[in-house]
Chain A
């Protein structure tokens, strides 16, 4: 499903302006791309939004940025909530209580807290049960909504308020959890990682995830201006360098087969290009041995997925 810019440019998106996100927020860009992908496809969506940045900035009563059916009930249960919505849809349809002929996908969307951590059980349950849902994790790599506390998605040696970089402890001492691998382990038909810079790759993948029947999964790297302590206008360029440095490999998993996305670089750029613009890595950058360890972690993960995708 290749998309050209003309198809999506100028379309009035169902995720509207007027939200209260930070200027330049990566999540806002991601959701607009997501909305463009769905609208281009002509598919109806129902959203279940976990508590988090996206939810609190778009749903301040009595306003809403969502021209989609949208529900928020709590932090850890976007998947369980949408499971109920999805079953209700099929139950009411079977009883002739609703008439709806268009294709529909039920979307649970959560930050890394609502997916990697507190929301993991609910996500796992919904995937195992095989609902027709797309689970999206917009990963900004910490609990950004409450002020940059560590999550299990926070990278090694990043500075957060609950895993601060100090004289004795160099920030977060564990590498990121591999949520993509966890999602795939459920035997779901489709999973993919995306980056907002590669909009065409993103839209193609989201459209697949929305069209394929059953549980599907999208993992998006979404830079956070205050959390990453980065320049306001850099969300898109950092999403690009995350891919160029191999920090964020773009991959797909479809019915048992891993695929290496064409947007991945032929030659990796130095990891410094990604980390140097973010003050959360300031402490790490002062210690070459930590940078080296970080680099090794990144390369190891990159090679792991290259191998799974059968790329030499």
Chain B
């Protein structure tokens, strides 16, 4: 294994994102500040102000314009990026879908935050879930270190000519974005080489060979455009694997679609995303020390969602604890749960699965809460209970009503 040099820095998740953007040498950043994403653009604006980066920064008047400007820049052949949270993502939603169908390799940091209403600035995943069907590759980060790595990987994935799709790098609002941790930062030269020079095959800025971007498609063509995005995101799977593998070879840092922990012989498997995964692993260790056959999975790549890869690492699982930090109103369960249950059906694998919805609007999820979930899982497994939605940490007075 080649050990690449790293420098250990104390960084928040937001700073880790800005650090990666700096090393990647972005041409255009267009962003609007929104809590808890703000420190990313503030940090980056300081890099620009101090002449540390050679980036054009557009201080747009809204998130809708942020994504619009990034689309314009990317269609011009520039490496372009933005960042947002919650209402900002909701406001730019229209353009989020246009970015992917135009096949523009844009990278966006999303600092996950609850959607209004009521107004809430704290973490959950309901913002990210609102774009899960818009054709973006979606990575989730557990801590500032993963935010940093994910950003570097995201540019490389998005810009691979076999992909040309936008990539969202998610991190948990405040929990990750504002928490200082030790982050191993790769050398500038290494990152530059790993991500490589950006060359987009089409550009608006070729005046000799003008192109039209974003035309209107009649029923005779629209369908094919949409299916081409579907095909591209499916075809991105081996490319992502290849890039993860290359990153592993060059840095010794292993990434996969799903990060399994003590899953090989586990009966009960927790599946979670973002910062909660660390707490889950802590509880898994505690339960293991008491003889529990339990493991956990951290979802790192949420789109494309590959159920086969997930099932491959849990050969002995009997019961799945699917932990969702968002709701999908009016249906059988939350987004991650829906993906997993429909995936199990398609793979003809019959497991007991319950959906544990937690932490909406930043409500704390503690090791004690997760232990309670485990108790519930043990009971449900013995009774054969499946298909339930359980609200973790919900105010008991609310339940009584």
By a beta-carbon cutoff of 8 Å, the part of chain A in contact with chain B is 14, 44, 46, 48, 55-56, 59-62, 64, 66-74, 76-77, 79-92, 94-95, 97-98, 100, 102, 104, 121-122, 124-125, 128-129
Interface centre among B30, B55, B65 (most CB of A within 10 A): B65
- Give CA–CA (A97, B98) in the complex, Å: 26
A257 to chain B minimum Cβ distance, whole angstroms, is 28
Given known contacts A72-B216, A84-B80, A125-B61, A91 and B72 CB-to-CB distance under 8 angstroms: no
| Residues in B whose Cβ lies below 8 Å from that of A74 | 68, 94-95, 98
State A201–B270 Cα separation when bound (angstroms): 72
Q: A46-B204, A89-B205, A121-B62 are in contact. Are A80 and B69 (CB under 8 A)?
A: yes
**Binary CB contact string for chain B from 195 to 223 against chain A (1 if under 8 A, 0 otherwise):** 00000000011110011111111100100
* CB-based closest 10 A-B pairs: A84-B72, A125-B61, A84-B69, A80-B65, A80-B68, A88-B78, A88-B76, A84-B73, A77-B68, A59-B215
Residue in A81, A82, A124 whose Cβ sees the most chain B Cβ within 10 Å: A81
Contacts of B61 in A (CB 8 A): 121-122, 124-125, 128
Query: How would residues 32 to 76 of chain B score, 1 for a CB under 8 Å from any chain A CB and 0 otherwise?
Result: 000000000000000000000011101111101110111111111
0/1 per residue, B351-394, Cβ < 8 Å to A? 00000000000000000000000000000000000000000000
Chain A residues positioned under 8 Å from B74 (CB to CB): 84, 88
Q: How far is the CB of A55 from chain B (nearest CB, A)?
A: 7
In the bound complex, CA of A123 to CA of B7 (Å):
44
In whole Å, how far is B224's beta carbon from the nearest beta carbon of chain A?
10
Q: Which residues of B contact A (CB under 8 A)?
A: 27-28, 30, 54-56, 58-62, 64-66, 68-78, 80, 94-95, 98, 102, 204-207, 210-218, 221
Of B69, B73, B98, most A-chain CB atoms within 10 Å: B69
What are 27 inter-chain pairs, A to B, with CB distance below 8 A?
A44-B207, A61-B216, A69-B210, A69-B211, A70-B204, A70-B210, A71-B75, A74-B94, A77-B95, A81-B71, A84-B58, A84-B73, A84-B74, A88-B56, A88-B205, A89-B76, A89-B205, A91-B56, A92-B27, A92-B76, A92-B78, A94-B54, A97-B77, A98-B77, A122-B64, A124-B61, A125-B61
CA distance A86 to B279 in the complex (A): 46
B221 touches A61 (CB 8 A): yes
- CB–CB B204/A71 < 8 A: yes
Complex formed: what's the CA distance from A97 to B64 in Å?
28
The smallest C-beta distance from A52 to any residue of chain B, in angstroms, reads: 11
A108: nearest chain-B partner, CB-CB: B72
What is the bound-complex CA distance between A56 and B30, given in angstroms?
A: 27
Known: A83-B30, A125-B60. A67 touches B210 (CB 8 A): yes
Q: Which chain B residue has the least Cβ–Cβ distance from A62?
A: B221
Which chain A residue has the least Cβ–Cβ distance from B82?
A84
Q: Give the tally of cross-chain contacts (CB within 8 A).
A: 165
Q: Whose C-beta in chain A lies nearest to the C-beta of B214?
A: A72
Across-interface contacts of A81 in B (CB, < 8 A):
68-69, 71-72
The answer on a CB contact under 8 Å between A122 and B102 is no
The answer on a CB contact under 8 Å between A83 and B54 is no
Beyond known contacts A68-B210, A69-B204, A70-B213: 13 more, CB 8 A cutoff:
A48-B72, A61-B215, A71-B213, A72-B213, A73-B102, A85-B75, A87-B56, A87-B78, A88-B77, A91-B73, A91-B78, A122-B62, A125-B61
Please, which residues of chain B bring their CB within 8 A of the CB of A85? 72-73, 75-76, 204-205
Contact B216 A56 (CB under 8 A): yes
Q: How far is the CB of A66 from chain B (nearest CB, A)?
A: 6
Contact in complex: A88, B80 (CB < 8 Å):
yes
Task: Determine the chain A residues whose CB is within 8 A of the CB of B62 once the complex forms.
Answer: 121-122, 125
**A69 touches which of B64, B78, B207 (Cβ 8 Å):** B207
Q: Which residues of A contact B64 (CB under 8 A)?
A: 76-77, 80, 122
A122 touches B59 (CB 8 A): no
Q: Which of B28, B70, B207 has a CB less than 8 Å from the CB of A100?
A: B207
Complexed CA–CA distance, A151 and B361 (Å): 39
Please report the C-alpha to C-alpha distance between residue A64 and residue B214 in the assembled complex, in whole angstroms. Answer: 11
Measured in the bound complex, the distance between the Cα atoms of B206 and A170 in whole Å is: 51
Contacts of B210 in A (CB 8 A): 14, 66-70
Q: Are A84 and B217 in contact (CB under 8 A)?
A: no
Residues in B whose Cβ lies below 8 Å from that of A124: 61
Cα distance, A128 to B66, chains bound together (Å):
15
B207: A residues at CB distance < 8 A: 44, 69, 100, 102, 104
Partner of B68, one of A60, A69, A73, A88: A73
